[in-house]
Every structure is written in C-alpha cells, then in structure tokens.
Amino acid sequence: MSARVRVALLGCGVVGGEVVRLLHEQAEDLHARIGAPLELAGIAVRRPGRTRGSIDPTLFTTDALGLVKHDDIDIVVEVVGGIEPARTWLVEALHAGKSVVTANKALLAEDGAALHDAAAEGNADLYYEASVAGAIPLLRPLRESLHGDRITRVTGIVNGTTNFILSSMDSSGASFHDALEEATALGYAEADPSADVEGFDAAAKAAILASLAFHTRVRASNVYREGITEVTAGDVASAKAMGCTIKLLCIASCVDGAVSVRVHPAMIPRSHPLASVGDAFNAVFVEAQAAGQLMFYGRGAGGSPTASAVVGDIVAVARNRLAGVRAATESNYADLRIQPMGEVVTRYHVSLDVADRAGVLASVAGVFAKHDVSIQTVRQEGRGDDATLVVVTHTATDAALAATVNDLRALDIVREVASVMRVEGE
Amino acid sequence: MSARVRVALLGCGVVGGEVVRLLHEQAEDLHARIGAPLELAGIAVRRPGRTRGSIDPTLFTTDALGLVKHDDIDIVVEVVGGIEPARTWLVEALHAGKSVVTANKALLAEDGAALHDAAAEGNADLYYEASVAGAIPLLRPLRESLHGDRITRVTGIVNGTTNFILSSMDSSGASFHDALEEATALGYAEADPSADVEGFDAAAKAAILASLAFHTRVRASNVYREGITEVTAGDVASAKAMGCTIKLLCIASCVDGAVSVRVHPAMIPRSHPLASVGDAFNAVFVEAQAAGQLMFYGRGAGGSPTASAVVGDIVAVARNRLAGVRAATESNYADLRIQPMGEVVTRYHVSLDVADRAGVLASVAGVFAKHDVSIQTVRQEGRGDDATLVVVTHTATDAALAATVNDLRALDIVREVASVMRVEGE
C-alpha cells in the first residue's frame, strides 16, 4: 500500500460537495491525524458536465462501478442514498477489500446485513456515523463507549423536518398544514415531504440505532411507524394543558429478551431533556443500567454537519488501513425477537367527543376497565352535546388500548374518538 | 496470548466495587462483545482484610506493583486516583506492554505526557474515558468522531458538586454556605469540598478536554481557575434579572493558533442548552466548524456511571489486544501556545456599590472608556448612599477589564466593587 490513502467519492450533491471542501480545507490537519495524506482520486456523478465550484473536472466520471473496483482506491465514500445502485457499488467495494464510509440510512436499515456480510468477507471496514443524527457522534459511543454497559432504552428525535414542524405548532398553535408550508418555504421540508412526515426517515434511523444498542439485527420493516400528519392543533393544546409537548419519537427498548422499535408522535413532559430540543435539531436520549441517563444533541442534517461525520469516518478507516486492521462495526450476537406492537406497554392520552348525559363517565370508564386499562385522570371540557372527555391512562399494552378504542367507538354517547396519542418519558 | 484476557484492578472503593460487579454480572455479554472471556486476576488494595461484599478474598493483594508487572496480566485498571503511587504503577504497566484503563483525571492533567510516552514506548493502550464527565461518552467522540472537523470551542459543566450547589442557589435563593451544607448533607459534597468548590477538579478535566479537542498538550497548571466560593445570592439574583443563570464552566477555545483554557463561574442565558443542566448532572457543549453545535449530557460522577465508562474502555482495549493492535489516544501534533488569561476576550457583569451623586455614571463610564471596555447596558438600583450600578460590557480582554476594576476601586464615589462575573454563551 502506498503512503497515500486514496478516496473515491460516489455522489457530489450537498453533502458530497461539503466532503470535498473539508478534505481540501483541512488537508494538513487530516494528514497529521492520519499519518499519511488523503487523496481524492475520483468522483462518480450522473452528470459530469455540470459545474461544481472549483472541483477539478478531471475527477468526475459516470462509471461508479469502475471507480469503486479500481486497484488504486482504498476508501469508497457513498453519499448518493437509496437502495440501488448504491448497494451493488458498496458490496463490490467491500468484496474487493476497500473500506466503505456511507451516510445511507435507507440501505443500512433495509439491507444492512448484505453490507456487513460483504465487509466481513472482504476484511474491510464499514463505517456509517453520518447515517443517523448527522453530525452528532452517536453510533461510535453506542457501539464502543457503552459496550461495558447494558442499554435498556433509546428515545430519539432523529428527524429535523418533523421536529421543526412540531416545534412550530407548539409555539404558534398552527395547524399541521400551515406548519408544513412554513417548513417547505424555509427549506426544512422537501417538495415531497412524505419520507419525513410519514416517519419513514425516522424508522430507518430507529432500525440502525436499535441494532447497535441491543446487539441484534433490526430492519426498517421491523419498526412500527406512524407519522405526524394526523397531529392537530387540538392535540398540541391538549398536550400543553398536561404540561407536555408533542415530539415525533423513535423509541427502541429491550425487555425480557425482546426488542421493540417504534416511531410515532408522543406527548412528553416539558421537564424532559428532549422537550426543549427545538427547531430542526436532533437529540438522542439513552438509558443504560450503569451509566444512567445520557443525551446527545446537535444538528441532524445539512451538508456541513453530515460531511463532518463522513470525514470523521474517513479518518478512522484511513488509520485502520495504515495500521492493517479492521473494525467490526456490527455486533449481532444477541439475535433478539422483535416484539409486536400489540405487546408494547405505554401510557395513552385519549380524547373523546361525547354527549354530556348522565352516566357518560360510567360508560366510558366501564370500557377501559373491561380491557384492564387503568385510568389515571379524566377531564371533561364543555357541556351539553359538545362535551369532550380527555382520558389519560396508566401503562397498558397497545393491544388493550386498541381494543378499548374500538369499543369506545361503538358507544352511543361517544360521537367520535377525536385523538389517541401515546404519553412517554415519565 | 491465552484466549482469556486477564485484568488487574488497582483500588476497590466505590468505583472499583462497581467495576467488579459489572465484570461479574455482564460476563456473558462482555465475552460475546470481546470474543474472549475477561478474567479478574487480582485486586490491589491497602487493607485486604476488609470485607468487600461477595468478592473472592483470594483476589486481594497489597502488592500493587507486583500485580501490575505480573506476566499473566493483560490489562491494568486504575481507580485509586492521585499522582503517586498511581503514576509509578501505570508507567511500569505500560512499559511492560500492559494496556491501561484509568479514571485518574488528576494524574492525566498533571503528567499525562509521562503516561502517553510510556504507552508509546511499551506499544500499549492508554484509555481514560472515565476521567472526564463520568459515564458520558465524550473523549472517544472528541478523539475520533470529530477528527474530520475543526473544534473551535468546548464549554462544559464538568463538576457535579458545584453544579448541584449553583442549581440549588438558583432555585431557592440560598447562600453559597447554605447550599454547600445541603450538598454535604446529601452526599454530593465531600467533607473537604475544596477540590470541587475551588475548581481544581474541573480544571483537571478542562486540561484533558482541551488537549483532545485541539491536538496539543495542556496541563492543569495551564488552566486559569476560579472556584465558586465567592458567588453570592446577590450575584444569582443579578443573573436572574438578566435572564441568566450562573454555572461553573470550563471553557477551552482555540483562536489564531493559541489555546485558552479556563474554569470560572459565569452567567449564561437561560435559553442556552447548558442552562437547564441541573442537579449533579454534567454536560459538555462543543462547537465545531462543520458540525455546528453539539451537546453531551449525563451523570458525571458516582460509582455506577464511572464504572460504565471504565468497563467500556476495558472492552475496547481487550479487543485491541486480541486484534494485536494499539490505538494512539493522544494527538499532540498541533503543539499550540497557551494564551495568557489577560488576552482572553469575553463579556463582564460588574456590580458597584456607589454613592448616588451627580456625575457618578459619567465617572464610572469614563473609567470603562479609558480602558477601551465598551458598555452594553447600565442599570442603577436603589437611591442615595445605597445605590448599586450594574454594568454589562461588550467583549473585552481580561487584562482591560482587570485594569478597569482597579481604577474603579480608586474612585471616591465607588464604595465597593461588589462583584465581577464573566458572561458567556451569547
């Protein structure tokens, strides 16, 4: 191996452009930290003719697969995203013994096993710090710092777009629709926001976090997922009345040898450290048996923060190559069962539009009791035919709550089950 | 090397006892994560006769140096603290090629060079995650995750005792003396609290953080240090009036190739993420050019959180030994100048007891102007001979502010410079 470390970059959009800039601007420092110079040897793009700032145009190629397999390349950095062709490129690279750094959460959550297996076969590194929570150093601490401990639960705000929308609904009382429009206008939401607002992005990250936290393999399809499109201004006001705020949470927990992983909006108390995470920031709250409560906070997206994480990984794999070692970045010995959502235990906030007649509370309470769902508080708002009953439960299984809601819908005096939201963080 | 990894423990107090418990309780998981079983081979203590729960009494020895040098030992874990004899033991261990895991912030800050040099000579690992901010994974992210970026500033609450005292003064209006008494009664402060309240503990941690953040060597003696014993209930009330709270901060920054590292109480806005870090929690706020703002939060002390960090390091060095590699955990290529405190630039809150006479404000303002210290706001409280002037400055050097305060003391109309406090985080 030459004294240089040669890097191939796949993709040169917002993140890729920032990676090129950092490699260039910090070249001297990176050389000192690695012990050898990094050399950007090629950049695969779809449209090589496009002008991309001051980047040397001879670096561009459309032949990603050729670049990846080239003898001269030591490290392949992928910032294209999506399942294919990224998977083919990275599996080829790893089989050929090249180290891989990727920010591709969708691919890792969908078929991380293919990448980890290829890395093991090729005796190559696979690093992916940038795939979850952007610049926040999170995967390395989970993977390494806490491996003397037992993580019991990971609760995260891992999608900046939805956090911006919910924070805006919380501070202004806006509707989901208006807050989404504001986020789009400010560039926080994409033209098609469904990956964010339907929770797909958060679910992919949840799968990666759960896999690392619990030493098992969790795929995106194992993650229970609800987005924030049904969250109303009324829900936000109701949360406020309880001293709570609504966040889109990813929650991964391990109980009795089973892992549950879910993404859904939830009410959390304003005193919880995650409650004050505003704007498009991300934060991940980790509970471990010995370490207690930890939180990691920072920018979860954006070209520059994501590039910071990518270049940090490049330095790590470059050092590994020079030392002639490989770091296993997956640990799946635990091989745990995925707990179905119906078994998951949490608390619920249920809002019912009811007719304010004699016996309404007794009827409603009877339905909860029938399914063994214990009520913590009931509050009635309004009188006559426009009354609202707000019920907050003690912990119950999701299945018991779902059955309760079904039976409530069948009651004559319940005009509508206006909202059902989980209550977390207490 | 045998398929077992043999560990010697130096010290068996609160942290050591928890390390033994974790090694025992998590033995199976640790085996799976390392790929080989960990074996606790000996524990050096001063009084081996003392009963220590269910620990096998044959493990105890008073001969720490003999244990450290024993052929059979792979990893030496030191949780004794203090400079000597810990330094001698660890240097011997490293020279003999044993990996070292230590929580000893005082030794690292006083003479980290001796340990790092010994580690390099012995081709051995030196890990010390537990030395700063207990269970919070902080050193590894600084050392590895962010090494593709340029850290500009680290601001931390790294001493739980003083944070408990200041949080209590903030919430109850108590005096320093009463808050310290409460902390002592609750076990948050030691019988002799000077290492905490005078800022020595925080200064040692600041030196370690600054060294890692800026790739240079900073010793405890390079750190400017003020404790919290002079913080009054009046300062706390004054901070509140400004929308601030008072925290004991460690601040390390790098400007124009020089590093400044300081520990002192400071006012920070309540909107700053560090402001809501209450009780005995720790948090470290990191600013980096590409990553932006990051924060790490958790328990900074206590047997169980500290042991979590120690055992995390044990797993890492055990893996390294099995892979036959060594990780350099120091990077000092930058070799930066230490900026004297007088050159450090920040903002100041100055409270003066004055006689409310014609021209008092003009005289006071004249002194600030003479030293080029620009005033942001002035507020007068009270009238007549009991008036107080509260001045908040724009940024100025510490030397200019010190000269200003000296001249203010010489003014007839200034009865006393009641307090001078730095304002950070804006």
Residue A98 and residue A73 in contact, taking contact as beta carbons nearer than 8 Å: yes
* Residue A420 C-alpha, separation from nearest chain B C-alpha, in angstroms: 31
Cβ neighbours around A62 below 10 Å, total: 12
| Average pLDDT, integer, range A287-303 | 94
Count of domains for chain B = 3
| Average pLDDT, integer, range A281-294 | 96
CATH number for the domain that contains residue A406: 3.30.70.260
| Average pLDDT, integer, range B352-367 | 90
The pLDDT of residue B145 is 87
Q: What share of chain A is helix, strand, coil (3-state, %, to 5)?
A: 40, 25, 30
Mean pLDDT across chain A: 94
Q: Assess if residue A330 is contained within a domain.
A: no
Report the helix count and the strand count for chain A, using DSSP H and E. Answer: 14, 18
Instruction: Please indicate, yes or no, whether residues A170 and A214 belong to a single structural domain of this protein.
Output: yes
pLDDT band at A135 (very low <50, low <70, confident <90, very high): confident
The pLDDT of residue A1 is 45
* pLDDT tens string A49-59: 777 778 888 99
A238 pLDDT higher than 60: yes
Residue A98 is among the residues annotated as catalytic for this protein: no
Instruction: Please indicate, yes or no, whether residues B197 and B286 belong to a single structural domain of this protein.
Output: yes
pLDDT band at A382 (very low <50, low <70, confident <90, very high): confident
The pLDDT of residue A74 is 97
The pLDDT of residue A348 is 97
Q: Assess if residue B24 is contained within a domain.
A: yes
Consecutive H or E run containing A319: helix A303-323
Instruction: Please indicate, yes or no, whether residues B238 and B361 belong to a single structural domain of this protein.
Output: no
Q: What is the domain range of residue B289? A: 139-299
Q: Which residues, listed in sequence order, are joined to residue A115 by a DSSP beta bridge?
A: none
Indicate which residue of B205, B240, B247, B370 is catalytic: B205
Mean pLDDT across chain B: 94
Any idea which of A217-221, A314-318, B297-301 has the lowest mean pLDDT? Answer: B297-301
Interface touch B295/A291, C-beta < 8 Å:
no
The pLDDT of residue A145 is 87
The pLDDT of residue A381 is 85
For A111, the token pair is 């078929």
| Average pLDDT, integer, range B176-194 | 95
A273 pLDDT higher than 50: yes
Interface touch B30/A140, C-beta < 8 Å:
no
SS (H, E, C) A329-384: CCCCCCCCEECCHHHCEEEEEEEEEECCCCCHHHHHHHHHHHCCCCEEEEEEECCH
Q: Assess if residue B190 is contained within a domain.
A: yes
Report the helix count and the strand count for chain B, using DSSP H and E. Answer: 14, 18
| Average pLDDT, integer, range B262-284 | 95
Instruction: Please indicate, yes or no, whether residues B195 and B168 belong to a single structural domain of this protein.
Output: yes
Instruction: Please indicate, yes or no, whether residues B123 and B158 belong to a single structural domain of this protein.
Output: no
The residues, ordered by sequence, that sit 6+ positions from B272 with a Cβ below 8 Å of its Cβ are B285, B425
For A12, the token pair is 């040169």
Instruction: Please indicate, yes or no, whether residues A223 and A294 belong to a single structural domain of this protein.
Output: yes
Residue B268 and residue B425 in contact, taking contact as beta carbons nearer than 8 Å: yes
Q: Assess if residue A334 is contained within a domain.
A: no
The pLDDT of residue B277 is 94
Instruction: Please indicate, yes or no, whether residues A295 and A317 belong to a single structural domain of this protein.
Output: no
- Torsion angle of alpha carbons A136, A142, A143, A148, nearest 10°? 150
The pLDDT of residue A107 is 97
**Pairing relation of β-strands A375-381 and A387-393?**
antiparallel
Q: Assess if residue B93 is contained within a domain.
A: yes
Q: Is A220 exposed, middle or buried (0-12, 13-18, 19+ CB in 10 A)?
A: buried
| pTM > 0.90: yes or no | yes
Amino acid at A27: A
- Torsion angle of alpha carbons B213, B134, B308, A130, nearest 10°? -40
* Residue B417 C-alpha, separation from nearest chain A C-alpha, in angstroms: 37
Residue A253 and residue A260 in contact, taking contact as beta carbons nearer than 8 Å: yes
Instruction: Please indicate, yes or no, whether residues A63 and A130 belong to a single structural domain of this protein.
Output: yes
Which residue, B267, B299, B331, sits at the end of a domain? B299
Interface-testing mutation among B24, B145, B214, with chain A (most A C-beta atoms within 10 A): B145
Instruction: Please indicate, yes or no, whether residues A71 and A130 belong to a single structural domain of this protein.
Output: yes
Interface touch A140/B141, C-beta < 8 Å:
yes
A2 pLDDT higher than 90: no
The pLDDT of residue B213 is 96
Q: Assess if residue A168 is contained within a domain.
A: yes
Vertex B256 angle, CA B254 and B259, to 5° = 30
More confident residue, A212 or B381: A212
The pLDDT of residue A100 is 98
Residue B297 and residue B134 in contact, taking contact as beta carbons nearer than 8 Å: no
pLDDT-above-90 percentage for chain B: 86
More confident residue, B203 or B143: B203
Cβ neighbours around A348 below 10 Å, total: 26
Q: Identify which of B291, B293, B304 has the shortest CB distance to residue A290.
A: B304
Q: Assess if residue B334 is contained within a domain.
A: no
B293 neighbourhood in chain A, CB within 8 Å: 298-299
Instruction: Please indicate, yes or no, whether residues A29 and A114 belong to a single structural domain of this protein.
Output: yes
Instruction: Please indicate, yes or no, whether residues B312 and B357 belong to a single structural domain of this protein.
Output: no
CATH number for the domain that contains residue B37: 3.40.50.720
Q: Assess if residue A263 is contained within a domain.
A: yes
Cα distance between the two ends of chain A: 54
* pLDDT tens string A155-195: 999 999 999 999 999 999 999 999 999 999 999 999 999 99
Instruction: Please indicate, yes or no, whether residues A107 and A221 belong to a single structural domain of this protein.
Output: no
Interchain CB contact of A26 with B (< 8 Å):
yes
The pLDDT of residue A372 is 96
The pLDDT of residue A76 is 98
More confident residue, B208 or B325: B208
Q: Identify which of B136, B315, B334 has the shortest CB distance to residue A294.
A: B136
A72 pLDDT higher than 80: yes
CATH number for the domain that contains residue B293: 3.30.360.10
The pLDDT of residue A359 is 86
A416 pLDDT higher than 70: yes
* pLDDT tens string B70-95: 999 999 999 999 999 999 999 999 99
pLDDT band at B1 (very low <50, low <70, confident <90, very high): very low
Nearest chain A Cα to B142, which residue? A137
For A20, the token pair is 């090129």
